Copies of this chain bind each other. A is one copy, B any other.
């Protein structure tokens, strides 16, 4: 059994890692780490875990970094940089869900995160934890940086066309996310009565996930995120200007071939009503589209569960590859329909 530790265990991605890893046939959860709730059992905070996962929360310090083969970091940005040397001093492989090592360019980090990166020399050396594009690097990696939830949906929706040189001009990525994307921190916009029965735009053309999208897709993107009154799910509506006319069959072929070996990308030509509900609860990214030949654009719909394929599930998918396990092991494949 692979012994795993989870830092940031009490947040929403942490608790989702616990849920998924507790059912993984080759994993035992060995350690949970927290900053603010050290010494408390996770099942005191989350009573539904009682009798299932009852580990006590440890501080992220050397003396507690024992008995783990894989360490997941579900931390706010800044922490992984700060703890980097400590974390590398132990033999565990590290899967970092934070933003710290996603970008290649320290200038982008400064621009979008408002502070200088403290380990700029590492940027570009750590593989991005997006198995559909970078599984080769992942197999030998001992540190992987998973992309953001919005970013994953856009990267997977755009790359087959952009990497084939078929994108002409700026892509518009109009993304919609459930509220869990904001995490469990206490802020007014995350209150039930603020988010319920309302649909909002925020962070237009300035969101932190933009530079990683542009880096991976190699396309210019106008990214506009929105908040949906639901807990989980992202749908990105991607308006892609095509460099040349393509037929329905062309697009099907391009996406199907690009994802021929990707177990979690569902290419769905002709899907009638692209919905987050077809992806939520699974590690799938469901891709469909509407071709608009009169204006030489294709509207691509990319749907995923922001906590699974957009975070914890993708991190486990990375772990499976890094630990030479079947890529799909322990990851849910069928969405609960409702």
Q: Which residues of A contact B (CB under 8 A)?
A: 12, 15-16, 18-19, 22-23, 46-53, 170, 172, 174, 176, 178-180, 184, 186-202, 204-205, 220, 222, 224, 226, 228-233, 235, 237, 239, 266, 268, 271-281, 286, 290, 292, 295, 297, 299, 301, 307, 333-338
User: Which B residues are CB-close (under 8 A) to A188?
Assistant: 184, 186
A121 vs chain B, min Cβ distance (A): 29
Given A197-B197, A278-B48: A290 and B205 interface contact (C-beta under 8 Å): yes
Q: In the complex, which residue of chain B has the Cβ closest to the Cβ of A230?
A: B197
**How far apart sit A224 and B176, CA to CA, in the bound complex (Å)?**
13
User: Which B residues are CB-close (under 8 A) to A268?
Assistant: 47, 50
A214 vs chain B, min Cβ distance (A): 12
In the bound complex, do residue A195 and residue B192 qualify as a contact, i.e. CB atoms below 8 Å apart? Answer: yes
Given A19-B336, A290-B204, A334-B49: A235 and B271 interface contact (C-beta under 8 Å): no
A-B contact pairs, 24 of them (CB 8 A): A12-B337, A16-B337, A19-B336, A19-B337, A47-B271, A48-B277, A48-B334, A174-B237, A178-B199, A179-B193, A186-B186, A190-B192, A191-B192, A192-B194, A196-B231, A197-B197, A199-B228, A200-B277, A205-B299, A222-B299, A224-B237, A224-B239, A224-B290, A224-B299
A227 vs chain B, min Cβ distance (A): 8
In the bound complex, do residue A193 and residue B176 qualify as a contact, i.e. CB atoms below 8 Å apart? Answer: no
User: Which B residues are CB-close (under 8 A) to A200?
Assistant: 235, 273-277
Given A172-B239, A299-B224: A337 and B15 interface contact (C-beta under 8 Å): yes
A112 vs chain B, min Cβ distance (A): 15
Q: In the complex, which residue of chain B has the Cβ closest to the Cβ of A291?
A: B205
User: Which B residues are CB-close (under 8 A) to A226?
Assistant: 176, 235, 237
A104 vs chain B, min Cβ distance (A): 21
User: Which B residues are CB-close (under 8 A) to A237?
Assistant: 174, 201, 224, 226
User: Which B residues are CB-close (under 8 A) to A278?
Assistant: 47-48
A265 vs chain B, min Cβ distance (A): 11
In the bound complex, do residue A277 and residue B198 qualify as a contact, i.e. CB atoms below 8 Å apart? Answer: yes
Ranked nearest first, the 8 interchain pairs of A and B with the lowest CB-CB distance are A198-B277, A200-B275, A48-B278, A204-B290, A186-B186, A193-B338, A174-B174, A179-B192
In the bound complex, do residue A23 and residue B197 qualify as a contact, i.e. CB atoms below 8 Å apart? Answer: no
A331 vs chain B, min Cβ distance (A): 11
A286 vs chain B, min Cβ distance (A): 8
Given A201-B274, A338-B12: A222 and B292 interface contact (C-beta under 8 Å): yes
In the bound complex, do residue B273 and residue A201 qualify as a contact, i.e. CB atoms below 8 Å apart? Answer: yes
User: Which B residues are CB-close (under 8 A) to A196?
Assistant: 179, 192, 196, 230-231, 338
